[in-house]
């Protein structure tokens, strides 16, 4: 049985939305705050959902859509790779990942800490099957690229 383009797009929408919902579940239900790098890794998924939705308005060609999704996955792999490198100590953190509070006294420090809320990108506060979320995101995007390539291979 061969899937139609619409079925493929709906499946891809489901996958991308499920990934985003999983991230929000971990953040809001399990109360695990994301670091800035984790938030950056969500951006390609947002763009994928928008582009997949635009497909239904016949604005973009199917093959170009799949190529764009491959491009987004490569971007996500690069971000994930950098994040994994930060976690492992191979790369330095971005300035947005650091708690550079610069307080002069205890009162000022307490005030800044309550307002700041930045989670370090080095700290792995949540794991699934022993993998950090950055590592899982890296692996998921490799699988997505393979899936997108499979779609392109069998596209007429």
Q: How far is 94 from 92, CA to CA, in rounded Å?
A: 7
Total number of domains constituting the chain: 1
The DSSP line for 65-116 is HHHHHHHHHHHHHHHHHHHHHHHHTSSPPPGGGS-----SSHHHHHHHHHHH
| Residue-level pLDDT at 47 | 98
Q: What is the CATH number of the domain that holds 59?
A: 1.20.1550.10
Q: Which domain holds residue 103?
A: 5-153
Mean pLDDT, consecutive 10-residue segments, the chain of 156 residues? 85 97 96 94 97 90 95 98 94 74 60 64 90 97 97 85
pLDDT at 120: 86
Find, among 125, 33, 124, 44, the residue nearest to 77 by Cα: 44
Between CA 130 and CA 136 the distance in angstroms is: 10
Cα–Cα distance for residue pair 17/30, rounded to 1 Å: 18
């Amino acid at each position: 049985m061969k899937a139609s383009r619409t079925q493929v797009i709906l499946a891809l929408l489901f996958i991308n939305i499920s990934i985003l919902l999983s991230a929000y579940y971990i953040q809001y239900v399990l109360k695990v705050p994301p670091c800035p790098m984790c938030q950056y890794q969500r951006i390609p998924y947002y763009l994928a959902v928008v582009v997949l939705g635009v497909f239904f308005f016949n604005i973009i060609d199917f093959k170009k859509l799949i190529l764009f999704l491959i491009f987004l996955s490569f971007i996500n792999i690069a971000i994930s790779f950098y994040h994994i490198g930060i976690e492992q100590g191979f790369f330095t953190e971005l300035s947005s990942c650091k708690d550079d509070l610069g307080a002069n006294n205890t009162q000022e420090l307490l005030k800044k800490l309550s307002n700041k809320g930045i989670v370090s990108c080095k700290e792995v506060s949540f794991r699934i099957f022993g993998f950090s979320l950055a590592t899982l995101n890296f692996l998921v995007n490799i699988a997505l690229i393979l899936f997108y390539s499979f779609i392109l291979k069998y596209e007429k």
